[in-house]
Structure 1
Amino acid sequence: MSCLQIEKVSCRYNGHNVLDQLSLSVADNEIICLLGASGCGKTTLLKAIAGLLPLAQGEIRLGEHLLDGPGVSVPPEARNIGMIFQDYALFPHLTVAENIGFGLGRQTRSERRQTVEESLQLVNLQGLGERYPHQLSGGQQQRVAIARALVCKPRLMLLDEPFSNIDTQVRMKLILEIRALLKGQGIGAVFVSHSKEEAFAFADRLALFRAGHIEQVGEPGQLYRHPQNRFVAEFLGGVNYLAAEVVDTDSVQTAIGLIRGNEPHGLARGVQCQLMLRPQQLQLIGDDQGPLTLMEQQFLGHHCRVQLACGELTLEASINEPLTHARARVQVEPHALVLFDL
């Protein structure tokens, strides 16, 4: 079932379309990431969903309810949507418990106390209700913001760069905790980020933005392994492009030899194209007689980044152990080939 449905939405700013005829859906209990560089429109869409920006065109529905459309604009406080901001937006003069219970005005004092205590336990902050935001770490402040958003039982959660102010050492742990929390509560979420690493770890699907429109939507692994164009390929990680000629239904000839795929690529024999290879897809074998010449090698802890020359072609590979030879041979394991037009 669709939790959120966005149909042909346009938003204007200073007379220009920031979003142009954009459509997207979010399923119940699905986390989708709006991924892209600064200024591409992803935060604009988040604000439009929240009701903080008017639509120039299109519709936004939450379940069966129309939030925005011709003649309709439900105010932000009536949308049943929770929002978590980059800077947490906590009230500095209120305690943790008071921050969480801020939106529970209709409950009695005892009901509010019990609800707040349950929320503190949910985000692993039990015993910290009397502290003030400045007495907490960044990760703890983010948990308070999440508890405050969840306490009103929203149908949808919006997260705007929620991990950018978190120390690198604890960021991935917090990402996994919040993902598990949203999944456990059965809440759909729309998450804005410019970090592909955060997106890969947190989201079920990615919507990759460029200049107010979506280039590709899909599961993180699908976009990484099967990008529809060069922009998607390069945004999500390192790439090598090799001039290639189609040999048959599943293989191409390149400067480093015949590369075979494990499924048909759909191009006719003899077609000239470019083959995309990720650095991780190149398997290097040290060989003093090999066709590749080692140019540079960097040890990065969990892998080694290697640059090699093959004639005028420069390749980048990611390998587990440093090369001990000045030259190398390369192998490419069969995979679904990604081929682009010249």
Structure 2
Amino acid sequence: MTQTVLELAGISQAYGSHLVVDNLSLRLEKGRIGCLLGASGCGKTTVLRTIAGFESLLAGEIRLNGRTVSRPDNTLPPAKRGIGMVFQDYALFPHLSIFDNVAFGLRKRDEGEKIIRVHEMLELVGLKKEQHKYPHEISGGQQQRVALARALAPRPDLLLLDEPFSNLDVTLRERLSLEVRDILKAYGATALFVTHNQHEAFAVADEIGVMSGGKMLQWAGAHELYHRPADPFVASFVGEGVLLPGVVRAGGRVETGLGVLQGDFSAPCVDECAVSVLVRPEDVVHDDDYPVKAEVVRRNFRGASILYTLRLISGDLVQALVPSHCNHAIGEKIGIRSDVRHIVLFPRP
């Protein structure tokens, strides 16, 4: 039987008259990694701060292991919540060694127990050989792992991470996101982090909550978000692609500028209705032998592949991800065919 570690029940928070978090709910089970994903200003960091106890609630409740720790008339202090926190800038103490940074939250423990615990944490994050160094003597990625070890050392019930990869360069960010997931899973930690980067969310999280305007639009796994988005905003925010105008016809067919799409779908309206069809770049296949042609209007070279933006005869735009040895210029017309495996429709006014 799974154990719910974190539960947010209809929480709201405001700064003055501005509602920042609006009736948001989620559940996070023991050993799972969750992520709040959204653009700057969507309210995700405020949610994290209310969970940590740094801010009170306007409405709703926050429960940790079934115990209510926040409601509008009562907020349990952060130190009594059993929560670990990794801040965006890591917040390491520059005058303390790596060992002493990790040991900082264990000051009340027996000295022998403390030494054993710090060594366990440094072993977990692969920094035991660096324990006598100071933060300025190690890399940004190593500093992040020290911050992670320090947060896990007191054995928190829940770990919160605020934009944990934002201070790292792109290459290091991708590698460290996978390393952090491995560390959290090896430890069996329950964690929630916030990011605006969907690649980080996909790499680390088991469940992802897409936020906009303080609301939770969808809480699901990466595959579900990508292939079965709950609304047009989630469809456009997660992954790449376009919403192509279409019309539902009888017999499980959808007419679009890309051609007639056929397959399983749940129509949001009766036959002969207008819809928007989610078309991902992998749904459009480059095929010069195919009679349907599209004009290249934009190209984004990505090394192994090129993301082409194409104008159909109907005037609609689609995207296609093509191996980069197929090098086409802007204005050139190329053959394409559709290969839409997941037909996702939304009603169109």
Amino acid of the structure 1 residue aligned with 2:167:
N
- Pairing 1:101–2:107 present: no
| 1:108 CA displacement | 2.5
2:203 counterpart residue number: 201
- Identical columns (%): 39
| 1:111 CA displacement | 2.3
Partners of 1:288 and 1:79 lie apart in 2 by 62
Task: Give CA deviations for 1:153-183 in whole Å, capped at 9, x if unaligned.
Answer: 0010000000111222222221112112212
2:322 counterpart residue number: 319
Contact preservation (8 Å) 1:280, 1:317: yes
Q: 1:167 to 1:255 in 2, by over 3 A?
A: closer
Contact preservation (8 Å) 2:290, 2:336: no
Partners of 1:296 and 1:10 lie apart in 2 by 42
In the alignment, which of 148, 151, 154 is matched to residue 152 of structure 1? Answer: 154
Q: Secondary structure at the match of 2:183?
A: helix
Q: 1:72 to 1:228 in 2, by over 3 A?
A: same
Q: 1:298 to 1:54 in 2, by over 3 A?
A: closer
Aligned residues: 342
Amino acid of the structure 1 residue aligned with 2:257:
A
1:222 counterpart residue number: 224
Partners of 1:289 and 1:6 lie apart in 2 by 53
| 1:266 CA displacement | 5.8
Amino acid of the structure 1 residue aligned with 2:141:
G
Q: Secondary structure at the match of 1:127?
A: helix
Q: 1:329 to 1:264 in 2, by over 3 A?
A: farther
In the alignment, which of 307, 331, 334 is matched to residue 328 of structure 1? Answer: 334
| 1:253 CA displacement | 1.2
| 1:24 CA displacement | 1.1
Contact preservation (8 Å) 1:247, 1:270: yes
| 1:289 CA displacement | 5.3
Amino acid of the structure 1 residue aligned with 2:320:
A
Contact preservation (8 Å) 1:286, 1:324: no
Q: Secondary structure at the match of 2:133?
A: coil
Contact preservation (8 Å) 2:195, 2:201: yes
TM-score norm. by structure 2 comes to: 0.92
Q: Secondary structure at the match of 2:130?
A: coil
Partners of 1:197 and 1:281 lie apart in 2 by 20
Partners of 2:179 and 2:166 lie apart in 1 by 16
| 1:251 CA displacement | 2.1
1:281 counterpart residue number: 283
Q: Secondary structure at the match of 2:167?
A: coil
- Pairing 1:165–2:167 present: yes
Q: Secondary structure at the match of 2:287?
A: strand
User: For residues 188-267 of structure 1, what are the structure 2 equivalents within 5 Å?
Assistant: 188-265=190-267, 267=269
| 1:334 CA displacement | 4.3
| 1:37 CA displacement | 0.8
Which segments of 5 or more consecutive residues in structure 2 lack a partner in the other structure?
none
Contact preservation (8 Å) 1:290, 1:327: no
Q: 1:251 to 1:321 in 2, by over 3 A?
A: farther
2:129 counterpart residue number: 127
Contact preservation (8 Å) 1:248, 1:268: no
| 1:83 CA displacement | 0.4
1:110 counterpart residue number: 112
Q: Secondary structure at the match of 1:45?
A: helix
| 1:70 CA displacement | 5.4
1:23 counterpart residue number: 25
Q: 1:293 to 1:330 in 2, by over 3 A?
A: same
Could you tell which deviates more after superposition, 323-332 or 166-175? 323-332
2:271 counterpart residue number: 269
Structure 1: 4+ residue segments shifted above 4 A:
none
Amino acid of the structure 2 residue aligned with 1:102:
F
Q: 1:255 to 1:12 in 2, by over 3 A?
A: closer
Amino acid of the structure 2 residue aligned with 1:198:
E
Amino acid of the structure 2 residue aligned with 1:337:
I
Partners of 2:201 and 2:290 lie apart in 1 by 41
| 1:291 CA displacement | 2.9
1:37 counterpart residue number: 39
Amino acid of the structure 2 residue aligned with 1:57:
A
For the aligned residue pairs, the C-alpha RMSD in angstroms reads 1.8
Partners of 1:96 and 1:18 lie apart in 2 by 37
Q: 1:266 to 1:248 in 2, by over 3 A?
A: farther
Amino acid of the structure 1 residue aligned with 2:185:
K
TM-score norm. by structure 1 comes to: 0.94
